[in-house]
Amino acid sequence: MNDINLTMLTDFYELTMANGYFNNGMKDKIAYFDMFFRRIPDNGGFAIMAGIEQLIQYLKGLKFNDEDIDFLRAKNLFSEDFLQYLRNFRFTCDVWAVQEGTPIFPGEPIVIVRGPVIEAQFIETMVLLTINHQSLIATKANRVVRAAQGRSVMEFGSRRAHGATGAINGARAAYIGGCVGTSCTISEKEYGVPALGTMAHSWVQMFPTELDAFRAYARTYPSECTLLVDTYNVLKSGVPNAIKVFNEEVVPKGFRPKGIRIDSGDITYLSKKARKMLDDAGFEDCKIVASNSLDEFVIRDMLIHGAQVDLFGVGERLITSKSAPVFDGVYKLVAVEENSKIIPKIKVSENTAKITNPGYKSLWRFFDNETGKAIADVIAEHDEVIDGSLPYELFDPEFTWKRKTVTNFRAERLLVKIFDKGNCVYESPDIKDIQQQCKEKTDMLWDEVKRFESPHKYYVDLSLKLWTTKQRLLKENS
């Protein structure tokens, strides 16, 4: 996948606008674009940022080859001067982004692009495609992992993913969200996400009996023996046969069985019965793995009702985020430069959710010094500095009478620079470090924000300076 030139993976109007900018003498005009999202999937309390590493790969590889130029020429829409410009195209923008694994909230600029308008506008499609997809899956995975209450979750959805990149990058995003591994082998090869798996029902069916199938597998993998026990009957044959093979093939070789997997039926009931059978046989350390159309709500209910499950394999409902399959990220012009001066721009709508926050901005997160918990986020103008040693008044940008003065806090900038004049200046952390950062930063949110139903609203406020600019532009454009 990394060898494919994705430059032409763009909405066609990016090219028609680019040609128009070029022919109107605007190719060098500096523009600022923000990526932000409007709604949290599953009506949750927060989302998880992901996809920066793939965005970097895309931006590094931007180039138009001869086939691209010939294709565009055949459309009879583009000037030859513009096509020559594309032939010599080089990405020269500055890019800032929130780091992967960070909790994010609606309205926040999670990616900022500054540069010549043709370049900054052109990359819109891939910025959104990359960040929207992986943030969606990382967010869903984080919900599923939290529902498991410390039990391991494996991503098992490759065969139901929306295409190859959906499987590969989805597995990466799921790992960032907290999964321990994936069934997608290539994701370990490409990204270091541990590949996991044992057997399918077809393995059991290929042998004369279930017992024969279990013996063959145990002899092949005595140190990593996990047996699928629901091909025929979990309690009458599956678990008894597994116990027999553990005693005859695994323990005599000096190993302990790793587990059994249940993939159908009433898993809560079956896991309780299987647990007692395993314990009575002396295999208290043998894990029980559950799979079969699981999500955070099914897992939560299973555990409430006493399911004896140690690991969960979650497939289609995770890799497609089935319950909320769209991440609502958008990419909007927020400023231009004229004579080296930044001129803020605003998009006005009768739908207040679609009114943009204008200008070149920074994003801050406030943390309480006593609890370490996140208090609120503040979107400010780029040149503002927030000093945590001084009191700061937060106010709701819509209901401005809602105000709170915070003290004894620290303010952390969330946006980091990843490209400077087209050169990558950011090294993506190791995937394990991103996963750990996700866990640590999610732990900094109050439990009320992490509820699945009716989570507490985490406030994203505007600085007074930015709010004043926004009100001025609303008045001027109303």
Quick: pLDDT tens for 303-321.
999 999 999 999 999 999 9
pTM: 0.96
| Spatial separation of the C-alpha atoms in residues 271 and 262, rounded to whole Å | 8
Closest CA to 331 of 78, 33, 123: 33
CA dihedral 18, 22, 28, 30 (to 10 degrees): -40
Q: How confident is the model at residue 2 (pLDDT cuts 50, 70, 90)?
A: low
In which region does residue 421 sit, left (phi positive, over 0), alpha (psi from -120 to 50) or beta (all else)?
Answer: left
Q: Which residue has the tokens 């003498």?
A: 25
Burial class of 74 by CB neighbour count within 10 A (0 to 12, 13 to 18, 19+): exposed
Helix/strand/coil for 81:
helix
Q: Where in the chain is the domain with CATH 3.20.140.10?
A: 12-137+326-364+372-383+412-476
- From the options 1.10.10.10, 3.30.1330.90, 3.30.70.380, 3.20.140.10, give the CATH code of 12-137+326-364+372-383+412-476: 3.20.140.10
User: 323-339 as b/e, with b when 16 or more CB fall inside 10 Å?
Assistant: ebeebbbebbbbbbeee
Q: How confident is the model at residue 5 (pLDDT cuts 50, 70, 90)?
A: confident
CATH of domain 198-292: 3.20.20.70
Q: What is the pLDDT of residue 77?
A: 97
Q: What is the pLDDT of residue 4?
A: 75
Quick: pLDDT tens for 7-57.
999 999 999 999 999 999 999 999 999 999 999 999 999 999 999 999 999
For a pLDDT cut of 70, what percent of the chain falls above it? 99
Strands 423-424 and 415-420: antiparallel
**Which helix (DSSP H) or strand (DSSP E) does residue 169 occupy?**
helix 164-177
Cα distances (angstroms) measured from residue 163 to each of 7, 244, 298, 317, 438: 19, 41, 26, 15, 26
Number of H helices, E strands in the chain: 16, 21
Give the residue-averaged pLDDT of 119-123: 98
CB distance 126 to 4 below 8 Å: no
CA dihedral 163, 146, 131, 436 (to 10 degrees): -110
Q: What is the pLDDT of residue 3?
A: 66
What residues pair up with 329 in beta bridges, in sequence order?
A: 37
Give the number of other Cβ atoms within 10 Å of residue 444's Cβ. 15
Quick: pLDDT tens for 200-217.
999 999 999 999 999 999
Give the residue-averaged pLDDT of 224-231: 98
- The dihedral built from the CA positions of residue 167, 169, 172 and 178, taken in this order, carries a sign that is negative
User: Which residues are CB-contacts of 233 (< 8 A; sequence separation ≥ 6)?
Assistant: none
Quick: pLDDT tens for 372-388.
999 999 999 999 999 99
For a pLDDT cut of 90, what percent of the chain falls above it? 97
CB distance 138 to 50 below 8 Å: yes
How many residues does this entry show for the chain?
478
The half-sphere exposure of 373 on its side-chain side, counting CA atoms within 13 A, is 9
Q: How confident is the model at residue 133 (pLDDT cuts 50, 70, 90)?
A: very high
CB distance 429 to 416 below 8 Å: no
Q: How confident is the model at residue 353 (pLDDT cuts 50, 70, 90)?
A: confident
Q: At residue 56, what are phi and psi to the nearest 5 degrees? A: -60, -45
pLDDT value at 1 more than 60: no
Q: Residue 394 is encoded by which pair of tokens?
A: 């937060």
| Spatial separation of the C-alpha atoms in residues 182 and 167, rounded to whole Å | 10
Write out the DSSP string of 129-151.
HHHHHHHHHHHHHHHHHHHTTTS
Strands 409-413 and 460-462: unpaired
Q: How confident is the model at residue 446 (pLDDT cuts 50, 70, 90)?
A: very high
Cα distances (angstroms) measured from residue 104 to each of 48, 81, 136, 172: 6, 42, 12, 18
Q: What is the pLDDT of residue 478?
A: 80
Q: Where in the chain is the domain with CATH 3.20.20.70?
A: 198-292
Taking the alpha carbons at both ends of the chain, their separation in whole angstroms is: 47
Give the residue-averaged pLDDT of 268-273: 98
Q: How confident is the model at residue 352 (pLDDT cuts 50, 70, 90)?
A: confident
Give the residue-averaged pLDDT of 158-175: 96
Helix/strand/coil for 278:
helix
- The pLDDT mean for the chain works out to 97
